[in-house]
Amino acid sequence: MPYRPEDHPTESADSNPRSPRSIEQRLVTHLLQAARACAQLLTPHHRVLPRPLLGRPVEPLRFTNRHEALAWLEAIAPAVGPAMITAVDQGDPAVACALASDLWPLFHYHRDVPMWIIVYEAGLRAALRWGEPMAIREMSSALALGLVAAARHTEAATHYSRAAALAHAAGDRSGVAQYTSGIGAALHDAELYDQAQSFLGEAFSLYSDLDDRRGTGLAGMLLASAAARQGYVDFALPILRMARADLTSLQPLDPLNAARALAYLGEGYSLAGQHDLAAATLVQARREFAELGHHHWIARTTEFLGQAAERSGQQDVARGWYTASLNQYTVLASTRDEKRLNDRLAALLAS
């Protein structure tokens, strides 16, 4: 059923501004508008769902830079779960879906995986109740990314497949490419690189046909990473360089994904035996993540530096990077990553 503004009036059903329902509605309205302002700064390439018409907050927030937006998101993080419950309880699924969509930068940058899954499971339930295909697609995709972060790869692929089927039905080739790339990303995260390359290659071709530089950059960096980790570095390195160039030249900017491409390029140099270039590239990527305040990718790039040092025979240096990465993951309470780093350190000490 298509979204119609008249289905979402600006006036509250409860005319008393001090009633609990009115207060809850004003809270959700405030979060929606402020979160949307954050999303415009932090994730301008994220697909926007139809906007429900809601009343204006008394004091609408203005953000002048990315750091202000991130600070606000960090501050309101404890209220996200209750806000989603309120949005769902209000019985308007368009509001719940819009709130989940606009909160995407919070999870994109800070990766609270349990809350990520809770929010987008609720968003998907709301989208299915609404019946709006685009909302179902976007809630499915955002949920799938959270499931990948939780190492629930099979479930993630199921949600991506639902989204891809809806995109096929709508004739949306860009959507098909996005969700096909998502399946490939889930397989890449599961270290099923050969299978991942099939989906990522398909997405890369679709994006290339559409002349979508951001899409080809995102699919390409994982396609090349999968190839490099299987030993095909001569194939991988030109694609990684192209991905970095494409993602760096976007307008509006996408600095997080540009930095990710640089990190994978550094890993590619390491796998190719170009150790000095690998270290310099990874240090630069780590610096870019630090400027963005993306703590997970700081830790991930620190781990890449440890792997690069280990490949070059610098065991003491590798141990230092691995220990730093482990400490960073511990602060983030990322138990999956902590286990992997503990295993790396144990293997290094045993060698």
Report CA-CA distances (Å) from 224 to 190, 211, 347: 16, 19, 27
- Amino acid identity at 246: D
Q: Which of the 8 DSSP states describes residue 125?
A: H
What pLDDT is stored for residue 56 in this prediction? 61
The reported pTM is: 0.89
Select from 340, 278, 263, 338 the least CA-distant residue to 314. Answer: 278
> pLDDT of 40-96, one tens digit each?
888 988 877 776 766 665 566 778 888 899 899 889 888 888 888 888 887 789 989
Asked whether residue 36 carries a pLDDT value surpassing 80, the answer given is yes
What pLDDT is stored for residue 224 in this prediction? 98
| Residue 65 to residue 69: CA distance in whole angstroms | 7
313: left (phi over 0), alpha (psi -120 to 50) or beta: left
| Residue 159 to residue 212: CA distance in whole angstroms | 23
What pLDDT is stored for residue 45 in this prediction? 86
> pLDDT of 295-311, one tens digit each?
999 999 999 999 999 99
> pLDDT of 100-152, one tens digit each?
998 999 999 888 999 999 999 999 999 999 999 999 999 999 999 999 999 99
- Across the range 218-245, mean pLDDT stands at 98
